[in-house]
Structure 1
Amino acid sequence: MNNRRRTTLLLLAAACLLLAAAALAGASLPETAFAADFSRKNLPPCPAFPFGTDWMGRDMLKRTLAGLSLSIRVGALTACVSAVLALALGTASALLGGWVDGAVGWLIDLVMGVPHILLILLISLACGRGFWGVTAGVALTHWTSLARLMRGELLALKSAPWLRMARRLGVSRRKLLNHLLPHLLPQFLTGLILQFPHAILHEASVTFLGFGLSPDQPAIGVILEESMAYLTTGRWWLALFPGLALVGVVLLFAWMGERLRLLLAPATAQE
């Protein structure tokens, strides 16, 4: 039993190190990712250029790493903002009740009632597009499901006998909150990790449609959008490798979230 738990922890640590290495490597490559050399343009994958080169002779491996780094940074920022917003609104809704609960519920229904991509596009355009525009769009649209989960967990905890007894004894709401928040930690951390793949995919989708990051940034969405014009000429590597890299990062984040949920959940923590 302990061996399986230890193995899962080691795999989670290895996945975190891999993602951190990809983010750091890509962050150090923006200038070289833009370096054009027309003497080597349109080269297929080879030992010197494992991902090939594009129509300007740019190294697709370096462009892909730079794009992944940018996507991971956007995903990290938006996931953190979205998770904190979900925790704050879900907690306020469950503990305060009344009109606060009604207002939060109305806001959740409003956000979830608008098509996701459309709402991200509108917020991104309203915030001036670019890095901060797409970050605001993704962060302000991904908190609803986690907020409902936080609210449900707190409502279940409110009916616990120990909490009812504490309230009758006059324990303040602030002190009760300090005891309640640790119970939300497993769900919160799992929800935070699972926000990453959604945030990264939506950032890439909005950028692919031309409403996200600017074309001068080596984002995965920009790379895929530019490669569409060259697929019919047989340059399949321009979209294949960046697309596989994006899918790999998304699946890795999803796997980490599921493993973390199993580790933190009381029913499966010792399996």
Structure 2
Amino acid sequence: MMGALVLLGAVVMAALFAPLLTPYAAEGAGLPNMAHKLLPPSLEHPFGADEMGRDLLARVLYGARTSLLLAALVVGSSVAMGVLVGLAAGAAGGWLDETAMRVTDIFLAFPPLLLAILLVAVLGGGFSSAVLALAIAWWPFYAVLVRGQVVSVRRLPFIEAAQATGVSPLRIAWRHLLPNALGPLLVQATVDIGAVILVASGLSFIGLGPQPPTADWGLMIASGRQFVLSGSWWVAGFPGLAILVTALAFAVVGDALRAATHGG
């Protein structure tokens, strides 16, 4: 847990201060330098250089900015929409609950990556389209989570007491029902940031995510895979390692939070 937290902190700080951590900030932002094309890892270029001669460490650092920002926007949007739908459905019950859950089930019938691919194919590739498509694919998970938490507590004595004293349904929902879902929401959101990074990288790999010259881990793997067999493994290897380590770290932290909130 502690090691994963430290690693995540390092990734976030590296993303925030990427321009200050490398002397090749311009290359990280996309400026080519063909004189350094496919240079292997060295003291001057610890991760080597890519097919455009850009310092790969700088590209990985700038790619962290893209991946973390995209994941944060997707998870934040998904949580907001999922909370609204799940809270309304769970608190109201009846036909609203039934209708909301049937709509949610339709979205859940599609794997997130497949649904995102279908949506991006309609919206067009790019950062904004990827965020919108992934948020649409992800919100149902939070709606189901919040609705389940709300249903489990809405008939408890303290809720019935609040209703009996004339507290408005909206106040009961926000002040009494929603707080019971915050713990599970935090756990799920933490795990999902890593999952979104993986899925978003998949979109970028097939050309439906952020577009060149944006530094994006999935895009870097896509452009570098052709050089692996010729010996330039680092072009795709280091971005792939960044995805793996970051996603695993979020998963470990999420599992630790889940164990803590469940008392073990």
- Give the alignment's TM-score, normalised by structure 2: 0.90
Separation of aligned partners in 2, 1:160 and 1:24: 45
Distance 1:248 1:266, change over 3 A: closer
Separation of aligned partners in 2, 1:232 and 1:266: 47
Separation of aligned partners in 1, 2:44 and 2:19: 21
Q: How far 1:135 sits from its partner (Å)?
A: 0.4
Matches for 1:209-224 after TM superposition, within 5 Å: 209-224=206-221
The counterpart of 1:225, out of the listed 222, 226, 229, is 222
Matches for 1:58-73 after TM superposition, within 5 Å: 58-73=54-69
Separation of aligned partners in 2, 1:189 and 1:242: 27
The counterpart of 2:86, out of the listed 90, 93, 106, is 90
**Is 1:157 aligned to residue 153 of structure 2?**
yes
What is the match of residue 11 of structure 2?
A: 19
For the Cα contact (< 8 Å) 1:27–1:69, is it kept in 2? no
Q: Deviations over 1:222-257 (max 9, x none)?
A: 100001221221111111111001111111111222
Separation of aligned partners in 2, 1:210 and 1:89: 32
What is the match of residue 5 of structure 1?
A: none
Separation of aligned partners in 2, 1:172 and 1:56: 61
Q: AA paired with 1:140?
A: I
Q: How far 1:110 sits from its partner (Å)?
A: 0.8
Matches for 1:84-233 after TM superposition, within 5 Å: 84-177=80-173, 178-233=175-230
SS at match of 1:140: helix
Percent identical: 29
What is the match of residue 27 of structure 2?
A: 32
Distance 1:164 1:101, change over 3 A: same
Separation of aligned partners in 2, 1:56 and 1:145: 40
Q: AA paired with 2:46?
A: P
For the Cα contact (< 8 Å) 1:30–1:218, is it kept in 2? no
Unaligned regions of 5+ residues in structure 2, if any? none
Separation of aligned partners in 1, 2:58 and 2:84: 39
For the Cα contact (< 8 Å) 1:68–1:220, is it kept in 2? yes
Separation of aligned partners in 1, 2:158 and 2:38: 68
Distance 1:78 1:118, change over 3 A: same
Q: AA paired with 1:222?
A: L
Q: How far 1:208 sits from its partner (Å)?
A: 0.4
Distance 1:249 1:101, change over 3 A: same
For the Cα contact (< 8 Å) 2:75–2:192, is it kept in 1? yes
What is the match of residue 238 of structure 2?
A: 241
SS at match of 1:223: helix
Q: How far 1:260 sits from its partner (Å)?
A: 2.5
Matches for 1:41-60 after TM superposition, within 5 Å: 41-60=37-56
Separation of aligned partners in 1, 2:204 and 2:252: 25
Separation of aligned partners in 1, 2:139 and 2:19: 27
For the Cα contact (< 8 Å) 1:26–1:67, is it kept in 2? no
Separation of aligned partners in 1, 2:83 and 2:52: 46
What is the match of residue 4 of structure 1?
A: none
